[in-house]
Amino acid sequence: MPDFFGRRNYLIILSLIFISIVILTIHFREGEDGVIHRAQRFVMAAISPLQAVAVAALQPTKDGWDYLVHFGDIKRENRELRREVVELRGKLASLRSLRDENSRLRNLIGFKEKEDYEGIPAHVIGKPMNNWWSSVIVDRGHKDGVRRNMPVVVGGGLVGQVVDVSQNAAKVLLLNDVESGVSVQVKRTGEVGLIKGQLKSKRLSLLYISRDSTIEQGDHIVTSGLGGIFPKGIYIGKVSKVRQTLYGLHLIVEIAAPVDFANLEEVFIIKYEPGFAFSREDS
Amino acid sequence: MWLKIIQSFLVILGAFIFQAAVVPHISIAGAKPDVILIIAALYGFMYGPSAGSLAGFTGGLLGDLLIGSHVGLDLLSKSIVGFFAGLVQRTIFIENILLPMLAIFVATGLNEFIYIGFMLLLGEAVPLKLLIVKTILPSALYNSLLTPFIYLAAHRFMVFKQETPLVSKL
């Protein structure tokens, strides 16, 4: 059957390639209420219960394995954490008194108090399923008050932002995804740049820092609040490497995040409603 | 005919559910296997380019809808992989599992290079050497090692008898 192995198959593959390109284009151009975005929410809602079951079933095995493999490390880590807790309790007491003093002085000169945002605790039920994109699915959705663009944090710092929400689940684009971009500030110098994920690397890139900058290894990076998506001051990480190319206008800065993006289990979704956040829904 | 289509869809759906729910938990050193790719390639090996590309298209579409960054990219790459797997149908006999394992290794490379091409089109910095060492080779190896198990688990549901060119001539 030479025809079967010839023209018909090529027609099929060309049609499929054409359909793929059409779907890619529609997805780029359509809004949040477009047919593909709605289909995405449907698939996420359908698959999230199964992912939750898989996490519940597999997590004890994984924990048991980790316990066996890392028993020595866990003991050492436990000792270190106990010591750290004692130190931090002492620091906390002095910080409380500083906070009270700060609050009194702010009131004195009429400064607005920094807002405390409410957090929605969530479990990660779906992890990245391929090697290219970094997004996770969490078990809190629209009915729990989660909305698109809300920032997501863990104890160590910023994790990412909510990019899609169904009734019972939400998709979080992680900070280390190549599609992610967050406006940040170097705490010491006040310079503003953009954090982006890198393909297949746990480090984050800090872009648009001028070659004349005094940024150095160990500088802390926090969200700048510009753009309105993230509140100002959420910790992101510290500078791990600064390089300069011969003709480049900007430095190449790498950031080491305290967050282990590959092993997230619980996160906090910050109930932050940006006043002037850009979203396709608004446009 | 319809029964075969429905049964094939259920196999691909099963692969998708496994990929979404279980695969993230069995990654080794960050490398994740791609069960949908393996199934698409197996359909290609067994039934030719049309079946391979359609299986890749369906599985890729489901994967795209869940991952969601660029809906269309996964279905494009998986359709192409399924198609090329089908083109070597004449030379690969699924009973000898070593050849499909080798072919899956190559198919994974093809799939990942389609992704790299897309990233370059988007203007992203692509650290090629790092990607080959940290992503493409480990994933290709993982996929080929997993192929016999996926085949054993799925082949009884992959409905039709293998149609080699020899059988079709008879």
**DSSP labels, chain B:** -HHHHHHHHHHHHHHHHHHHHTGGGG-BTTB---HHHHHHHHHHHHH-HHHHHHHHHHHHHHHHHHH-SSTTHHHHHHHHHHHHHHHTTTT--TTSTHHHHHHHHHHHHHHHHHHHHHHHHHT----HHHHIIIIIHHHHHHHHHHHHHHHHHHGGGS-SPP--HHHHH-
**Record: contact A198-B80, CB cut-off 8 A:** no
How does pLDDT run across B20-35, given as a tens digit for each residue? Answer: 988 888 888 778 899 9
Same domain as A231, residue A210 = yes
How many Cα atoms within 13 Å fall on the side-chain side of residue B109?
Answer: 11
- For position B160, what pLDDT does the model report? 58
The yes-or-no verdict on residue B163 having pLDDT over 60 is no
In a domain, A236, yes or no: yes
> With an 8 Å Cβ cutoff, are B50 and A5 in contact?
no
Residue A73, pLDDT score: 79
Q: Do A129 and B63 touch (CB under 8 A)?
A: yes
The CATH number linked to A232 is 2.40.10.350
What is the pLDDT, as a whole number, of residue B56?
Answer: 93
For residue A7, the model assigns a pLDDT of 77
- CB proximity list for A7: less than 8 A, separation 6 or greater: none
User: Does the model's pTM come out above 0.90?
Assistant: no
Q: What pLDDT, on a 0 to 100 scale, did the predictor assign at position B153?
A: 86
Q: How confident is the prediction along chain A (283 residues), in pLDDT tens digits per residue?
A: 444 456 788 888 899 999 999 998 998 888 778 899 899 989 999 998 998 888 888 878 877 877 777 777 788 888 888 888 888 888 888 888 788 878 777 777 766 655 667 888 999 998 877 778 888 999 999 999 999 889 999 876 899 999 889 888 999 999 988 888 899 999 888 899 999 887 766 568 898 998 888 898 989 999 998 877 888 888 999 899 888 877 878 888 989 888 888 888 889 999 887 654 444 444 3
Pairing between strand A201-207 and A192-198?
Answer: antiparallel
Residue B136 resides in a domain: yes
Does residue B169 sit within a domain? no
A11–B contact, CB cutoff 8 A: no
Which of A30, A139, A199, A204 should one mutate to test binding to chain B, selecting the residue with the greatest count of B CBs within 10 A? Answer: A199
User: Is B37 within the bounds of a domain?
Assistant: yes
Residue A206 contacts residue A226 (beta carbons within 8 Å) = no
Does residue A150 belong to any structural domain of this protein? no
* Separation between Cα atoms, residue A69 and residue A63, nearest integer Å: 10
The minimal CB distance from A17 to the residues B76, B86, B134 is found for: B76
Q: Looking at the domain assignment, is residue A141 inside a domain?
A: no
Contacts of A19 in chain B (CB under 8 A): 57, 75
In the structure, what pLDDT confidence band is assigned to residue B141 with cuts at 50, 70 and 90? very high
Contacts of A259 (CB under 8 A, 6+ apart): A154, A156, A157, A158, A159, A175, A237
Per-residue pLDDT at A276: 47
Residue B112 lies in a domain: yes
Q: Are B83 and B44 in contact (CB under 8 A)?
A: yes
Interface of B with A in 78-117 (CB under 8 A): 79-80, 83, 86, 112, 115
Which chain A residue is nearest to residue B58, measuring alpha carbons? Answer: A16
- Whether A258 contacts A274, CB under 8 Å: no
Same domain, A34 and A85: no
Percent of chain B topping pLDDT 70 = 91
Instruction: Determine, yes or no, domain membership for B170.
Output: no
ipTM strictly over 0.85? no
A181 shares contact with chain B (CB less than 8 Å): no
Phi, psi of A48 (to 5 degrees): -60, -35
For residue A272, list its beta bridge partners: none
Supply the DSSP symbol for A210: B
Provide the CATH number for the domain around residue B118. Answer: 1.10.1760
pLDDT at A247: 80
- With H, G, I as helix, E, B as strand and everything else as coil, classify residue A17: helix
Q: Please count the residues of chain A.
A: 283
Interchain proximity B76–A24, CB inside 8 Å: yes
CA-to-CA distance for B107 and B44, rounded, in angstroms?
11
**Å from B98 to nearest chain A CA?**
24
Distances in whole angstroms, Cα of residue B144 to Cα of each of A20, A234, B38, B39, B107: 26, 43, 8, 12, 10
Chain A residue nearest residue B31, CA to CA:
A131
Contact state of B76 with A9 under an 8 Å Cβ cutoff:
no
Total structural domains within chain A: 3
Nearest to A200 among B17, B72, B134 (CB): B134
Q: Do B67 and A133 touch (CB under 8 A)?
A: yes
Q: Is residue A91 part of a domain?
A: yes
Residue A242, phi-psi category: left (phi > 0), alpha (psi -120 to 50), beta (remainder): beta
Q: How many domains does chain B have?
A: 1
Q: Is any Cβ of chain B less than 8 angstroms from the Cβ of A176?
A: no
Q: Are B151 and B42 in contact (CB under 8 A)?
A: yes
Domain that includes residue A94, residue range: 70-114
Dihedral pair phi/psi, residue B95, rounded to 5°: -65, -30
Same domain, A230 and A208: yes
- Determine contact: A148 vs chain B, CB below 8 A: no
Q: Could you list the residue range(s) of the whole structural domain that residue B84 is in?
A: 2-24+31-164
Structure-token match 């070597």, residue found: B88
B166 pLDDT tier (thresholds 50, 70, 90): very low
Query: Given CB atoms, is B123 within the 8 Å cutoff of chain A?
Result: no
Classify residue B105: in a domain, yes or no: yes
pLDDT of residue B15: 93
List CB contacts (< 8 A) between B86 and chain A. 9
Biggest alpha carbon–alpha carbon distance for chain B: 53
Residue with tokens 């992989």: B81
Indicate the angle between helix axes B49-67 and A7-29, nearest 10 degrees.
Answer: 10
For residue A149, the Cα-to-chain-centroid distance in whole angstroms is: 11
Q: Which residues in chain B have Cβ-Cβ distances shorter than 8 Å to A62?
A: 25
Of B31, B53, B61, the CB nearest to A131: B31
